[in-house]
Amino acid sequence: MSLQDDRKEYLNGELGDEFLSADPKEMFVAWLDSYRALVKVDSTAFALSTVGKDGAPDCRIVLLKEIRDDGFVFYTNYNSKKGNDISGNPLVHALFFWPEMERQIRIKGHVSKISRVESEQYFSSRPILSQLGALSSDQSEKISSRSDLELKFDSFKSSDMSDYNCPDNWGGYCLSFKEIEFWQGRRSRMHDRIVFEIESNSKWSSFRVQP
């Protein structure tokens, strides 16, 4: 079947002008809560775009693990491709796509590392096998075979399998943002889009843009 024949109407909701006066962080939390009530698996996944030292963009999925006053926290390997990109350029873009609600959220921001203590606390809250996975993976580095990776994993296993220490090169980033756009699909491709920008006085302003 032709891809061109895949079509749908977006009928689930709307973003009225009352949303122009909303607080975008509260709005994000409300949207995320509704999505998590509907979708139980990986509902906090988002696409994170970075820009490499060669100027080329790159994008991958990560999981949102905490919403704080200063931004959104995710965890990764600081020496990974994304970690290297961020060390050269902390500007990033985040994209949440929630098709079951016909919603998209785009966030323009920058990231900084969270404190070592916070990363360690989160690391030790993870299941032991996930801790071991993080220890065993030089994320984004080449490896000659799957079996070599599994050998590495086994070599890190200690006999009692208690807590492992958080590796120095593993931890969280906090994504702070100054611009966020909420998209709600509407009939006839007349979608609603509301953009929020932070002003110099730290107050949010918002405006509607064409679909």
Active site residues: 189
Contact call for residue 47 and ligand FMN (CB under 6 A)? no
DSSP string over 69-101? TTEEEEEEETTSHHHHHHHH--EEEEEEEEGGG
State which of residues 32, 45, 95, 149 lies at the interface with ligand FMN (CB under 6 A): 45
Size of site (CB under 6 A) for ligand FMN: 15
Q: How far is the CB of 140 from ligand FMN (least distance, A)?
A: 4
CA 16 to centroid of chain Cα atoms: 26
Closest CA to 81 of 134, 145, 137, 139: 139
Q: Which stretch binds ligand FMN (CB under 6 A): 18-26, 69-77, 144-152, 198-206?
A: 69-77
Query: The tokens of 144 are what?
Result: 């000659």
- Residue 1 vs 56, nearer CB to ligand FMN: 56
Write out the binding residues for ligand FMN, residues 136-195 only, by CB under 6 A: 139-140
Q: What radius of gyration do the chain's Cα atoms show?
A: 20
Element (H, E) at 145: none
CB of 127 to ligand FMN, least distance (A): 14
CA angle 166, 93, 203 (to 5 degrees): 100
State which residue, 81 or 113, has the beta carbon closest to ligand FMN: 81
**Chain residues in the site for ligand FMN (CB under 6 A):** 42, 45, 58, 60-63, 74-76, 80-82, 139-140
